[in-house]
């Protein structure tokens, strides 16, 4: 995956910069998500990995996505096809979404708790996390009973483990050393 991310980064960056310039960030995000779904289709993956010419790849791709993409997006498809990079389209969409979140000053936060969080708890948690990260927070809550109690919060590279299970693991490690 890291190789695809390396390949996809310049395309995602160029697409994002173009979208910002044209004030079409959301439209480009939608087109990329749709095109990435098409590229993830097993038959299309096989076709893209095959020996079809770039012109044929563009033709097939634009026929499938015809009503979902515009002319500028078609140019992106052409450039990627000419360079044999259409297979990286899902990674381009993922990186574009990251650029968009950074631009919008948003962050996705995964919260794992032992029980379902009440609405008031979620509201308080969002307020505290927005203060800590200085961004708008989109909360993704899930339940994992193995946490026993407390919360595990994951935001990008940051992990805050306030779960009872995590504390017990840290205590066990300390006692063993």
Whether the per-residue pLDDT at 10 is higher than 60: the answer is yes
Would you put residue 137 in left (φ > 0), alpha (ψ -120 to 50) or beta? Answer: beta
Average pLDDT for 32-39: 92
Q: What is the pLDDT of residue 80?
A: 92
Q: What angle do CA 80, 82, 87 make, to 5 degrees?
A: 45
Task: State the span(s) of the chain assigned CATH 1.10.520.20.
Answer: 2-102
Whether the per-residue pLDDT at 131 is higher than 70: the answer is yes
Give the tens place of pLDDT for each residue, 137-166. Answer: 999 999 999 888 999 999 988 999 999 999
Cα 74–chain centre separation: 22
Q: What is the pLDDT of residue 139?
A: 94
Q: What is the pLDDT of residue 49?
A: 80
Q: What is the pLDDT of residue 62?
A: 87
Quickly list DSSP for 61-126: HHHHHTTT--HHHHHHHHHHHHTT-GGGHHHHHHHHHHHHHHHTTEEEEEEEESSPPPHHHHHHHH
User: Exposed, middle or buried, 74 (CB in 10 Å: 0-12/13-18/19+)?
Assistant: middle
pTM comes to 0.68
Q: Residue for token digits 């140019």? A: 75
Q: Where does the pLDDT of residue 2 fall: very low under 50, low under 70, confident under 90, or very high at 90 and above?
A: low
Q: What is the pLDDT of residue 118?
A: 94
Fold (CATH) for 105-176: Glutaredoxin (3.40.30)
Average pLDDT, the chain: 91
Task: State the span(s) of the chain assigned CATH 3.40.30.
Answer: 105-176
Q: Does 3.30.420.590 match the CATH number of domain 2-102? A: no
Give the tens place of pLDDT for each residue, 72-94. Answer: 999 999 999 999 888 899 999 99
């Amino acid at each position: 995956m890291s190789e695809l991310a390396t390949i996809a980064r310049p395309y995602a960056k160029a697409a994002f910069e173009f979208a910002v310039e044209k004030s079409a960030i959301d439209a480009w995000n939608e087109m990329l998500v749709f095109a990435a779904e098409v590229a993830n289709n097993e038959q299309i993956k096989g076709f893209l990995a095959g020996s079809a010419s770039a012109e044929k790849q563009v033709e097939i791709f634009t026929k499938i996505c015809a009503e979902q993409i515009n002319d500028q997006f078609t140019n992106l498809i052409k450039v990627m096809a000419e360079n044999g990079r259409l297979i990286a389209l899902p990674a381009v969409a993922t990186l574009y979404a990251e650029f968009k979140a950074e631009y919008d000053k948003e962050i996705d936060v995964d919260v794992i708790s032992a029980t379902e969080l009440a609405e008031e708890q979620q509201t308080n948690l969002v307020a505290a996390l927005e203060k800590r990260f200085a961004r708008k927070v989109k909360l993704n809550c899930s339940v994992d009973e193995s946490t026993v109690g407390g919360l595990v919060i994951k935001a990008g590279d940051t992990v805050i483990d306030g779960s009872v299970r995590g504390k017990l693991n840290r205590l066990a490690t300390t006692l063993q050393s």
